[in-house]
């Protein structure tokens, strides 16, 4: 593997890979306005020929002061802002925040609401994984086809979200102690319908991609993340699992009612881009299993704990950390309440895509520059969450 | 795996099937030709808020909003701006004079709808809001925001009928409650909101508790807001009575006429009620009523919106509690738990509870 160059050496002549021509390293800035960076994100690559010898991720272009805003606002006021962290998965963001507040305030969520949350979170996982595969293929150069198939299916889930919560993407659906409005029987029927049709779409999607020689050639043995580095780098979610780390907060914490469902945690063995793709496909199949069980077992009952006040909601002093297995990894909210308790004294987000992004350089070193965008795509980042 | 290229060919079969299928199978052809075709939005769908009124003939009078400013306070991006309407004498009317929503700031989160105790603000589902400008064009004023209950029933039938039933039940309950004590408080509940003149002149300076020079370049609205703001600041620091009361008593509620029909608008004494300003905080109001009788202190604990959510104006409710005619101290909606707790505390201190 080629070692990254130090600052002084960057522009000195180095022997080219063939040994016949002497080449200079070249510094290329990919982004911030580049479609393959999935938002305003910049990568400072140092290239030797086509090979990456150093890469520096530059973040912060989409910083919106999320945490400080939340510290100036009532507890409920931050809920719509969490939608805007990872705007693909507003439902799970809502849940993570609500879970942290519930832990801190000691609120018990009714069973019915827990099931509704599980249904929403697993649907979110479906749409996120479908789309991220579509985007990854887009980065590979499969212009349009897989992405638009993914978006077609995603739209069906978003229609359900709109019917239930009122908004397609910025759902603002969860409340402390439950969910804002209940799912009607009609909504549940739509969810069932989506769940029953999704495996067929996944089969088709896999037929298009899984054994495709171009995909295999471009993704296998590319961007390998070793298991040790995944653990040391605190990587979570599908990315850690693709590297062989068997860790899923749904299994480790069994938050909500996840203890009641029967599902497996798919784990990869190489940790390359292909594993990251395939772990996501398998995870979607497990999500469908969870959805089927949740839709079968959902009990009757209130959709929100009746004792929770909407206004003048106060939390006694203390701190709490609530975490869930978001589609991108472990999403956690660390909250501190102090005297008065009307607003958080400290509000901290543990964003999975930000922490997963920190290993980008390790995965890219020695790879070709064309593979950098695939490796980045396989991490699955949303800049709203990376920069906050 | 078979031969090299099998995966590619299989993939192409999938694409071909999708391509051909898109002509026959509605599941594969999901595109809607937007301006010509429109998708029916779901009932829950939300875009921007609007204000509900009940009667087409009297929009201002039947507006449900009482300018209690709960939504203004709770709005996470702070996109709502409300100024309460006052008559010529500076007496607060229970409706907004200014109600602006900056829809370029609004993030459609629906929190204003959830916190509104009067069912006055609701979410629209009109998504065609494009304008030819970025600034004034995107601020919706009161006339743009007002929409009829009929419209609300049309866009959200289930939700609106539930709201109508709830409001009706509340009204009946109030009427029942008011009936036995009707002699003491003639039809406080039956009379809805006082019907005000269509276009009340903006009160020039009567509410100015702190003298702002007459030649200062402010519009009446700004003047009103400023004086409220300044009094909030000064109340905390300076000896209170000196700064606030004299100028207030000069013009304002001293000669307030018993304006409302039915609901007894209690007349203010010569000194005025310096705490009767929704812009002040609870502590500031209580400080102003420090050495006053219990009824004044009780009144100062209320939200000062005169919203009639309890069935009285703020003065009337305080008197009723003081005299024992009203035993429920949890009726002040805009003041909520803060007021309820303070009322309990004051009554306990006075040995009345």
Alpha carbon distance B73, A18 (integer Å): 68
**Stretch among B211-215, B235-239, B272-276 having the lowest mean pLDDT:** B235-239
Tell me what the mean pLDDT of segment A36-56 comes to: 84
Where would I find the beta strands (DSSP E) of B38-136? 49-53, 80-86, 92-102, 121-123
User: Measured between CA atoms, how close is B308 to chain A, in angstroms?
Assistant: 20
Neighbours of B86 (CB within 10 A): 18
Chain A contact residues (CB < 8 Å to B): 73-74, 76-81, 84, 145, 149, 152, 155, 159, 162-167, 170, 172, 180-181, 204, 207-216, 309-312
To test the contact with chain B by mutation, choose from A85, A164, A167 the residue with the greatest count of B C-beta atoms within 10 A, namely A167
CB contact under 8 A, B4 and A164: no
Q: Using one digit for the tens of pLDDT, what is the confidence trace for A277-303?
A: 999 999 999 999 999 999 999 898 888
ipTM surpassing 0.95, yes or no? Answer: no
Alpha carbon distance A200, A206 (integer Å): 10
Answer yes or no: is pLDDT of B177 > 60: yes
Of the candidates A84, A162, A216, the beta carbon closest to that of B42 is on A162
Query: Do residues A329 and A240 make contact, with C-beta atoms less than 8 angstroms apart?
Result: yes
Q: Please name which of A331, A307, A308, A312 lies closest in space to residue A321, comparing C-alpha atoms.
A: A331
Alpha carbon distance B297, B350 (integer Å): 11
User: Measured between CA atoms, how close is A312 to chain B, in angstroms?
Assistant: 8
pLDDT of residue A107: 87
CB contact under 8 A, B14 and A207: yes
Answer yes or no: is pLDDT of A164 > 80: yes
Alpha carbon distance A74, A347 (integer Å): 12
Neighbours of B189 (CB within 10 A): 24
Q: Using one digit for the tens of pLDDT, what is the confidence trace for B58-95?
A: 877 788 888 777 788 888 888 888 887 777 776 667 77
Tell me what the mean pLDDT of segment B279-298 comes to: 82
Give the single-character DSSP code of A255: -
Task: Provide φ and ψ at A76, rounded to 5°.
Answer: -65, -30
Tell me what the mean pLDDT of segment A88-105 comes to: 90
Query: Do residues A160 and A194 make contact, with C-beta atoms less than 8 angstroms apart?
Result: yes
pLDDT of residue A10: 45
- Residue B260: band (very low, low, confident or very high) from pLDDT cuts 50, 70, 90: very low
Residue of B nearest to A83 (CA): B109
pLDDT of residue A116: 92
CB contact under 8 A, B44 and A165: yes
Give the single-character DSSP code of B200: P
Judging contacts by C-beta atoms under 8 Å, the chain B residues touching residue A216 are 7
pLDDT of residue A291: 92
């Amino acid at each position: 593997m080629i070692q990254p160059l130090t600052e002084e050496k960057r522009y000195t002549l180095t022997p080219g890979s063939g040994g016949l021509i002497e080449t200079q390293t070249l510094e290329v800035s990919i982004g911030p306005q580049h479609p393959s960076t999935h938002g305003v994100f910049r990568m400072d690559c140092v290239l030797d020929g086509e090979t990456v010898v150093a890469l520096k991720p530059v973040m912060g272009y989409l910083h919106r002061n999320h945490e400080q805003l939340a510290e100036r606002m009532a507890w409920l006021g931050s809920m719509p802002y969490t939608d805007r962290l990872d705007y693909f998965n507003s439902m799970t963001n809502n849940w993570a925040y609500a879970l942290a507040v519930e832990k801190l305030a000691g609120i018990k969520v009714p069973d019915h609401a827990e099931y509704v949350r599980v249904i929403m979170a697993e649907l979110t996982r479906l749409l996120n994984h479908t789309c991220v595969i579509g985007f990854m293929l887009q980065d590979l150069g499969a212009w349009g086809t897989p992405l638009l198939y993914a978006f077609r299916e995603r739209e069906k889930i978003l229609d359900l979200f709109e019917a239930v919560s009122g908004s397609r993407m910025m759902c603002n659906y969860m409340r402390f102690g439950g969910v804002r409005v209940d799912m009607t029987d009609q909504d549940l029927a739509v969810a069932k319908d989506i769940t029953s049709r999704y495996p067929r779409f996944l089969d088709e999607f896999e037929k298009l991609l899984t054994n495709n020689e171009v995909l295999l050639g471009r993704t296998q043995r590319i961007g390998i993340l070793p298991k040790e580095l995944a653990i040391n780098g605190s990587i979570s979610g599908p990315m850690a699992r693709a590297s062989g780390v068997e860790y899923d907060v749904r299994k480790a914490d069994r938050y909500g009612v996840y203890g009641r469902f029967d599902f497996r945690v798919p784990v990869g063995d190489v940790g390359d881009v292909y594993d990251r793709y395939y772990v996501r496909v398998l995870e979607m199949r497990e999500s469908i299993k969870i959805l089927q069980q949740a839709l079968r077992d959902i009990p009757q009952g209130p959709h929100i704990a009746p004792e929770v006040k909407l206004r003048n909601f106060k939390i006694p002093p203390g701190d709490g950390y609530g975490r869930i297995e978001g589609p991108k990894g472990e999403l956690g909210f660390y909250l501190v309440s102090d005297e008065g308790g009307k607003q958080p004294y400290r509000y901290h987000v543990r964003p999975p895509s930000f922490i997963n992004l920190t290993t980008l350089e390790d995965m890219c070193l020695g790879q070709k520059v064309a593979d950098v965008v695939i490796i980045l795509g396989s991490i699955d980042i949303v800049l709203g969450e990376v920069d906050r | 795996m078979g031969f090299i290229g099998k995966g590619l060919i299989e993939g192409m079969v999938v694409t071909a099937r999708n391509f051909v299928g898109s002509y026959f199978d509605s599941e594969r052809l999901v595109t809607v030709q937007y301006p010509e075709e429109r998708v029916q939005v779901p009932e829950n769908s939300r875009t921007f808020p609007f204000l509900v009124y009940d009667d087409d003939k009297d929009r201002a009078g039947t507006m449900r909003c009482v300018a209690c400013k709960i939504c203004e306070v709770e709005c996470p991006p702070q996109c709502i701006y409300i100024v309460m309407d006052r008559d010529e004498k500076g007496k607060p009317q229970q409706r907004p004079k200014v109600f602006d929503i900056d829809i370029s700031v609004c993030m459609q989160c629906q929190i204003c709808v959830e916190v509104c105790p009067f069912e006055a603000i609701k979410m629209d589902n009109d998504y065609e809001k494009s304008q030819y400008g970025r600034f004034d064009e995107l601020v919706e004023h009161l006339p743009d925001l007002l929409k009829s209950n009929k419209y609300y029933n049309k866009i959200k039938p289930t939700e609106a009928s539930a709201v109508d039933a709830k409001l009706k039940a509340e009204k009946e309950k109030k009427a029942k409650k008011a009936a036995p004590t009707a002699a003491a408080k003639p039809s406080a509940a039956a009379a809805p909101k006082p019907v005000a003149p269509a276009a009340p002149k903006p009160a020039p300076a009567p509410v100015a508790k702190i003298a702002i020079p007459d030649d200062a370049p402010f519009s009446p609205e700004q003047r009103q807001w400023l004086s409220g703001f300044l009094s909030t600041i000064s109340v905390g620091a300076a000896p209170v009575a000196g700064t606030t009361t004299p100028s207030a008593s000069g013009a304002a509620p001293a000669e307030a006429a018993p304006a409302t029909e039915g609901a007894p608008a209690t007349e203010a004494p010569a000194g005025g009620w310096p705490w009767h300003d929704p812009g002040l905080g609870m502590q500031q109001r209580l400080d102003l009523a420090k050495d006053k009788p219990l009824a004044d202190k009780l009144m100062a604990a209320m939200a000062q919106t005169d919203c009639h959510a309890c069935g009285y104006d703020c003065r009337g409710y305080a008197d009723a509690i003081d005299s024992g005619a009203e035993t429920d101290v949890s009726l002040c909606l805009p003041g909520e738990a803060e007021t309820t707790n303070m009322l309990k505390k004051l009554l306990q201190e006075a040995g009345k509870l």
